[in-house]
Amino acid sequence: MKTDSTKPQVPKPEDLASDEPYKIGLFGYGCVGQGLYHLIDQLKHAGAEVVRIGIKDGKKSRDLTADRFTLDKTQILNDPTIQLVVEVIDDAAEAYRIVREALIAGRKVVSANKKMLAENLPELISLQHDFGGTLLYEAAVCGSIPVIRTIEDYYADEPLIRLSGILNGSSNYILSKVFSEGVAYSEALQSAQQLGFAETDPTLDVGGFDARYKLCLLAAHAFGVLVKPEQVLSAGIHGLNNADLEFARSQDKQLRLVATAERVGTELALFVMPQLLDAHQLLRGVENEFNAVVIEGSFSGPQFYRGKGAGSHPTASAVWADVKAAARSFSYGYEKLKTTLLQGITNDLYLPVYLRANETIHRHLTWEQVEHRSIDTVQGIIGLKQLVAHQKLLQEQKVFVALNGNLLRKDPISGVLQAHQSEVAELIPVLKNNVV
């Protein structure tokens, strides 16, 4: 798309007559873009209208007339009548350029590109502050679950102990079909792609990267910690085979790809990996393309949120909720970034895991304890630092590793491994800082 440095005059809501529809410029007309367009088209009473759609391929056949589309992004970004920009494209680099330019112009923006957001969040927060624009991105995290808004509103003052969730609907759909219905992995993946849950290249989904981007966004809102995606362990399900499924069944456990943020003293531990879940764990019963999040506050205890996390309409509904919120001048407060006492991230945890790999991989890893070893599998305890240090190799070799128990820490004096548990007492200073 062409670009232009000319800064448009962005209208304010009061600049237009109250009976005129709220004008939206939309970038992207794929699964989510089409879902949003048709949702708005059906909600005639909502008072909104998509006036222009930015695309990159003018030759592709679409269900709207050609005059609704443009290859020139300045026709949206420089249009003074457009009140809000919505970005739902796959290209993270182009999404960044669009969102950055719109925020510098002081515009209201809604984005669903979790990769772009996670990689550039500190800058995007600063741009909102410096130029008076607004950026909302609920749809980038948990599909139809309003988790960011819930954290911003309900947990604004309460320190959180942990957050865990199934954040990728595509992987959860695949695991549900493979584990519960006995469908082959390749067949389940193909079905997810046909239903629009997974991309043609499913690497971001099954490799755990998509969930990692979402976890980084949640860390900022829930704990006030800004983290680069590459700092977070991402172990996916792309190496899953029948031996792993049989092991899970032998333990009477269910496999799910889970993203975890856990407070460790004055730091935060973050990782994405398959987990072997017991019957009492809330995430175990989440099936198919559904997402779910468990948020545990220091006083409120665990709260469970569940909703569809993949597909055109569930994601479009989250985008639409952001559109309406932005139209009412809602913006994120980022309260946790202002008040947190957390000093950054840590990998100083130890994980009981089931790991299957070849002998070359095993020679790279140092174990704290080994409980059982076979030709290609190990059940034991390994440091999170070990997995993070070797995660590129683990991804390349499609090593399957799954958490199989509770997190552990080393006693600083004795060096003995013991169950990790965040204490409410650690969190009280944070709460006092929030008292007005």
pLDDT at 15: 38
Nearest partner of 86 among 119, 48, 115, 120, judged by Cα:
48
Are β-strands 160-166 and 290-297 bridged in parallel, bridged antiparallel, or unpaired?
antiparallel
pLDDT the model gives residue 45: 85
What are the structural domains, with CATH classification, of the chain? 13-137 (3.40.50.720), 147-310+333-419 (3.30.360.10)
Classify 188 as helix, strand or coil. Answer: helix
Q: Which residues pair with 277 in a beta bridge?
A: 254
Picking from 74, 68, 78, 3, the residue whose alpha carbon sits closest to that of residue 29 is 68
Secondary structure E strands in 185-333: 233-234, 254-264, 267-277, 290-297, 301-308
pLDDT confidence tier of residue 424, bands split at 50, 70 and 90: very low
Is the per-residue pLDDT at 9 higher than 60? no
pLDDT of 419? 87
pLDDT band at 5 (very low <50, low <70, confident <90, very high): very low
Q: Is the pLDDT of residue 431 over 70?
A: no
- The amino acid present at 410, given as its one-letter code, is K
Per-residue pLDDT at 430 exceeds 50: no
Q: Choosing from 114, 177, 214, 308, which is the catalytic residue?
A: 214
Question: What is the per-residue pLDDT across 133-177, written as a single tens digit (0 to 9) for each?
Answer: 999 999 999 989 999 999 999 999 999 999 999 999 999 999 999
Question: How many C-beta atoms lie closer than 10 Å to residue 130's C-beta?
Answer: 11
What pLDDT is recorded for position 281? 94
Average pLDDT, the chain: 91
pLDDT in tens, 87-126: 999 999 999 999 999 999 999 999 999 999 999 999 999 9
CA geometry: angle 333, 337, 338, nearest 5 deg: 80
Question: What's residue 413's pLDDT?
Answer: 83
Q: What is the pLDDT, as a whole number, of residue 117?
A: 98
pLDDT in tens, 387-414: 999 999 999 999 999 999 999 999 888 8
Long-range (24+ apart) CB contacts under 8 A made by 408-412 are 408/349, 408/350, 408/351, 408/352, 408/381, 409/264, 409/348, 409/349, 409/350, 410/348, 410/350
Answer yes or no: 214 catalytic. Answer: yes
422 band by pLDDT with thresholds 50, 70 and 90: low
Least Cα distance to 168 among 284, 33, 311 occurs for 311
Q: How far apart are CA 21 and CA 46, in angstroms?
A: 8
pTM: 0.91
